[in-house]
């Protein structure tokens, strides 16, 4: 056991009443459907799915979307969370600064149900939630529903080959809207911070995103998935180069990492 794992375990034990359960999970994974803070508030997670502990460590312990000096939520900021899952990023923003506007989007019904409960459990009146996937147009499509973890569900275009080999019971219909529709939906002209973690769906968004829309987004934090959609990293960098300064952090997973972009003007 190294210092990093000891520090991680201590963080779980000192922040959650069921921290021992989470520590055991890291050594012998089994589904955990809730995290209980010492103040009594509970974060719920889909039953029989993995992923809660990994998400807590990535978002709250490592603060993956808040590298030092990049961004700290300010009063009045407009923050958009694409791929909200059960709401851990949204909860994190509210913990840092509750006086901002948050819009969270999550298309998978079981995740969205937990997102809704978690927003209510924490009394986040500044957060609005939407059961949509984000793409490049309005449509109904399918999302994979056969993943071991709640984190890994991918939007599936019905024309793709991977749909043809999937049983209908392994996918669910979801509504898709384009990124630019969000501005009217939440009644804003500018987005302070856009977080994107949509398991390869970022490729579709950046294929069609306009310079006009990019100029309306001050900061972006994007988890890119070249291992799911080859060419995603290059596409995003190319799209952003005229409007944003870009930095990236690779991960332990080949072809996956975080890209951070700051508007130039």
Mean pLDDT over each residue of the chain, to the nearest integer? 93
CB count in 10 Å sphere of residue 46: 20
Sign of CA dihedral 26, 91, 59, 3: negative
Asked if residue 153 has pLDDT above 70, the reply is yes
pLDDT, tens digit, 9 for 90 and up, residues 50-94: 999 999 999 999 999 999 999 999 999 999 999 999 999 999 999
Asked if residue 46 has pLDDT above 90, the reply is yes
**Bridge partners (DSSP) listed for residue 250:** 257
Helices and strands: H and E segment counts in the chain:
10, 13
Q: What pTM was estimated for this model as a whole?
A: 0.94
pLDDT, tens digit, 9 for 90 and up, residues 104-143: 999 999 999 999 999 999 999 999 999 999 999 999 999 9
Containing H/E element for 249?
strand 244-250
pLDDT at 251: 78
pLDDT, tens digit, 9 for 90 and up, residues 166-205: 555 589 999 999 999 999 999 999 999 999 999 999 999 9
What single string gives the DSSP state of each residue in 45-62? --TT-B-HHHHHIIIIIS
Q: Domain 63-137+145-154+178-263: give its CATH architecture.
A: 3-Layer(aba) Sandwich (3.40)
Instruction: List where CATH 3.40.50.150 sits in the chain.
Output: 63-137+145-154+178-263
The structure tokens listed for 10 are 């201590």
Largest CA distance in the chain: 50
The structure tokens listed for 200 are 């390869």
Asked if residue 250 has pLDDT above 90, the reply is no
pLDDT at 253: 76
């Amino acid at each position: 056991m190294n210092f990093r794992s000891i520090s991680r375990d201590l963080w779980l034990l000192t922040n959650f009443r069921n921290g021992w359960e989470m520590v055991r999970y890291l050594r012998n994974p089994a589904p955990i459907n809730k995290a209980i803070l010492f103040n009594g508030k509970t974060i719920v997670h889909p039953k029989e799915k993995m992923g809660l502990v990994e998400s807590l460590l990535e978002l709250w312990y490592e603060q993956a979307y808040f590298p030092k000096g990049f961004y700290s939520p300010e009063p009045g900021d407009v923050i958009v969370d694409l791929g909200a899952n059960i709401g851990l990023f949204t909860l994190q923003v509210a913990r840092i600064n509750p006086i901002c506007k948050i819009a969270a989007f999550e298309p998978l019904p079981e995740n969205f149900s937990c997102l809704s409960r978690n927003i209510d459990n924490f009394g986040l009146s500044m957060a609005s939630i939407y059961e949509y996937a984000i793409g490049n147009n309005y449509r109904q499509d399918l999302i994979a529903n056969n993943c071991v973890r709640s984190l890994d569900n991918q939007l599936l275009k019905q024309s793709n080959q991977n749909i043809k080999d999937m049983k209908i019971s392994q996918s669910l219909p979801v509504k898709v809207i384009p990124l630019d529709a969000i501005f009217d939906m939440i009644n804003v002209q500018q987005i302070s911070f856009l977080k994107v973690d949509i398991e390869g769906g970022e490729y579709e968004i950046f294929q069609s995103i306009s310079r006009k829309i990019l100029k309306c987004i001050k900061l972006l934090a994007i988890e890119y998935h070249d291992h799911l959609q080859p060419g995603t990293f290059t596409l995003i960098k190319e799209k952003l180069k005229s409007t944003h300064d870009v930095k990236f952090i690779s991960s332990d997973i080949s072809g996956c990492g975080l890209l951070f972009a700051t508007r130039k003007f």
